[in-house]
């Protein structure tokens, strides 16, 4: 034994102190040794830290969506994608602060919608603590700690979720939607539509009372984004020349598959915060173990989604399709998001693999229906989200009736509301770019800045599309009077 210790060059004194420390830990502090949880200010700090660090990780998913979308579109539209993504994140943050969070969480219990009060603020006790009103410091700290976490840490974590829902719409409608109408839709989605769905579910509304389960948002986040995107696809229509007169589909491969792959890896990474942070606590052994299961199941489902999508792409798309495999990862992640807490981890593989299959088949289905989804957002987020929400009944204890009711009610509400908003925008401010802008690309036509300026700009030809109407003749000048 001594020889073995010497071989590791570990001083005996360090080993002795380690043993004494461990004994003192188990004998003197059994609560810590057994990891039975912490209380008071320690719990408050750990929970708040979890909200903030996981929220920051979810915010990083916006970079993933930006890379995925900008690499999926043609080079002539990449700059516009970058602008839309940073714009929608900014709009989501402002809208959710001004009205969205209150509609979703404040005074919802049993109802369909929360409070219409504007702005969301820290608690009075927290403001007193920051302001340094020290006469009753102990009382103030106690009042702050009673909440379990800092008020604004919860707001931040919830806000980055609504930004994710808006990002889904951006990719599906890329290359043909004007910037300002898209921003107007994003404002309505993040300020009203998404918060109402959240009030029904996570806010304690009628679907929560019914028993509807959605741990991190397969339907509440990804389904909402998918339904909103589908409504937009129907109103705006496909890109010019995407579907030929003979029924065939014009291939539009990603312009930068390296960037697309990077985007998917960033999303995969951010999803650990998306699902792991939805444990909403980090102050006990239960929280730590459950969060570990969530992260492992999330990773397994994504990996299974990749492999199943690649395996079926040869038969569905007639090629081993890298883009399908990348979307399969997202579909696997979406599928497991509703119920990632199962302890039988092999179920995560099954759920993720089926999600990848559904996504690949969904891409083909949209092509047959002549619905133009640039990044495959509807199959990856909506179709896989529906499957994941129902899969909660398999291994995560969900009630099938409640899950069906939730999917149907949320789908009907979001699709109808989104379609009305898109249609209203189309009839008033015109959501679609001009023929010339779509031909040249939005980067040049709308922004005047190209993502790849060293490339030669090649306006796209649409041989099967009617030529744009000629400009009206200029009026002749009246003859000058003598």
Q: Domain-by-domain residue ranges, the chain?
A: 40-440
| Tokens at 29, concatenated | 């502090």
**Stretch 236-242: mean pLDDT:** 90
Mean pLDDT of 358-378: 94
| pLDDT score recorded for residue 7 | 37
* Summary mean pLDDT of the chain: 85
Indicate if the pLDDT at residue 411 is higher than 90: yes
pLDDT at 38 over 90: no
Q: What pLDDT does 141 receive?
A: 76
Residue 124 has pLDDT above 50, yes or no: yes
What pLDDT score was predicted for residue 343?
A: 86
* 396 compared with 274, residue with greater pLDDT: 274
More confident residue, 129 or 472: 129
At a CB cut-off of 8 Å and minimum separation 6, what does 359 contact? 305, 309, 324, 327, 328, 330, 331, 376, 379, 380, 383, 384
Q: Of 32-46, 61-75, 381-395, 454-468, which gets the smallest average pLDDT?
A: 454-468
Identify the architecture of domain 40-440 in CATH: Orthogonal Bundle (1.10)
Percent of the chain scored above 90 by pLDDT? 62
**pLDDT exceeds 90 at position 453:** no
pLDDT at position 99? 95
More confident residue, 143 or 95: 95
Using CA of residue 394, residue 396, residue 399, residue 401, what is the dihedral sign?
A: negative
| pLDDT of 397 | 86
**Average pLDDT, stretch 233-254?**
88
pLDDT in tens, 184-203: 999 999 999 999 999 999 99
Number of Cβ within a 10 Å radius of residue 46: 17
> 236: which residues sit within 8 A by CB, 6+ positions away?
173, 176, 177, 422, 426, 431, 432
Q: Are 70 and 452 in contact (CB under 8 A)?
A: no
Examine the pLDDT at 30 and tell me if it is beyond 50: no
Rounded percentage of the chain residues whose pLDDT exceeds 70? 85
pLDDT band for position 135 (cuts 50, 70, 90) = low
Q: Which two tokens stand for residue 120?
A: 């969301």
| The pLDDT value given to residue 479 | 56
What integer pLDDT is reported at residue 347 of this predicted model? 95
Look at residue 37 and tell me whether its pLDDT is greater than 60.
Answer: no
Cβ neighbours of residue 354 under 8 Å, at least 6 residues apart?
A: 308, 335, 387, 391
Whether 53 has a pLDDT exceeding 70, the answer reads yes
Distance (Å) of CA 178 to CA 197, 226, 228, 272, 329: 27, 19, 16, 33, 29
Tell me, what's the pLDDT at 128?
79
Alpha-carbon dihedral 124, 125, 130, 135, rounded to 10 degrees: 120
Q: What pLDDT score was predicted for residue 213? A: 95
Instruction: Please tell me the total number of residues recorded for the chain in this structure.
Output: 482
pLDDT for 34 equals 38
Residue 241 has pLDDT above 90, yes or no: no
Long-range contacts of 241-246 (CB under 8 A, 24+ apart): 241/460, 241/462, 241/463, 241/464, 241/465, 242/372, 243/370, 243/372, 244/464, 245/464
Query: Would you place residue 142 in the very low, low, confident or very high pLDDT band (cuts 50, 70, 90)?
Result: confident
pLDDT at residue 15 in the model = 32
Give dist(CA 338, CA 206) in Å, integer: 18
List Cβ neighbours of 92 (8 Å cut-off, separation of 6 or more).
Answer: 159, 162, 163, 166, 186, 190
Q: Are the beta carbons of 402 and 418 closer than 8 angstroms?
A: no
Q: Is the pLDDT of residue 5 over 50?
A: no
Least confident of 12-26, 61-75, 420-434: 12-26
At residue 176, the pLDDT reads: 93
More confident residue, 473 or 127: 127
């Amino acid at each position: 034994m001594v020889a073995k210790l010497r071989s590791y060059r570990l001083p005996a004194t360090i080993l002795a102190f380690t043993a004494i420390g461990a004994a003192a830990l188990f004998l003197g502090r059994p609560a810590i040794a057994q990891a039975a949880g912490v209380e008071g200010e320690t719990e408050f700090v750990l929970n708040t830290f979890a909200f903030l660090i996981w929220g920051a990780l979810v915010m990083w998913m916006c970079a993933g969506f930006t890379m995925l979308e900008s690499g999926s579109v043609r080079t002539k539209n990449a700059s516009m994608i970058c602008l839309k993504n940073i714009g929608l994140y900014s709009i989501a943050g402002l809208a959710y602060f001004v009205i969205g969070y209150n509609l979703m969480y404040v005074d919802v219990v049993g109802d369909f919608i929360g409070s219409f009060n504007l702005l969301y603020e820290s608690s009075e006790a927290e403001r007193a603590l920051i302001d340094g009103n020290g006469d009753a410091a102990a009382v103030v700290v106690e009042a702050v700690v009673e909440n379990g976490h800092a008020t604004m840490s919860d707001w931040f974590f919830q806000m980055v979720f609504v930004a994710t829902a808006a990002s889904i719409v951006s990719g599906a409608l890329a290359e043909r939607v004007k910037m300002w109408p898209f921003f107007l839709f994003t404002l309505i989605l993040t300020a009203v539509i998404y918060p109402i769905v959240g009030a029904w579910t996570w806010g304690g509304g009628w679907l929560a009372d019914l028993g509807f389960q959605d741990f991190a948002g397969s339907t509440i986040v990804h389904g909402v984004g998918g339904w909103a995107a589908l409504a937009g696809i129907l109103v705006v229509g496909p890109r010019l020349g995407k579907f030929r007169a003979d029924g065939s589909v014009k291939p539009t491969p990603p312009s930068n598959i390296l960037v697309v792959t990077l985007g998917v890896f960033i999303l995969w990474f951010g999803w650990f915060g998306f699902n792991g942070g939805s444990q909403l606590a980090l102050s006990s052994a239960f929280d730590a173990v459950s969060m570990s299961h969530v992260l492992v199941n999330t990773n397994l489902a994504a990996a299974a989604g990749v492999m199943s999508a690649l395996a079926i792409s040869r038969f569905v798309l007639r090629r081993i399709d890298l883009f399908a495999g990348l979307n399969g990862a997202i579909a696997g992640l979406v599928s497991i998001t509703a119920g990632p807490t199962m302890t039988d981890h092999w179920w995560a593989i099954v759920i993720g693999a089926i999600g990848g299959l559904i996504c690949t088949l969904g891409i083909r289905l949209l092509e047959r229906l002549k619905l133009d989804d640039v990044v495959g957002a509807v199959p990856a987020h909506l179709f896989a989200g529906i499957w994941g929400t129902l899969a909660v009944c398999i291994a995560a204890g969900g009630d099938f009736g409640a899950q069906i009711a939730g999917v149907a009610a949320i789908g009907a509400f979001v699709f109808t509301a989104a379609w009305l908003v898109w249609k209203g925008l189309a009839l008033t401010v015109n959501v679609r770019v001009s023929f010339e802008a779509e031909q040249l690309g939005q980067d040049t036509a709308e922004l005047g800045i190209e993502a790849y300026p060293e490339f030669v700009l090649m306006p796209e030809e649409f041989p099967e599309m009617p030529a744009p109407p000629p400009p009206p003749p200029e009026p002749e000048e009246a003859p000058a009077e003598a």
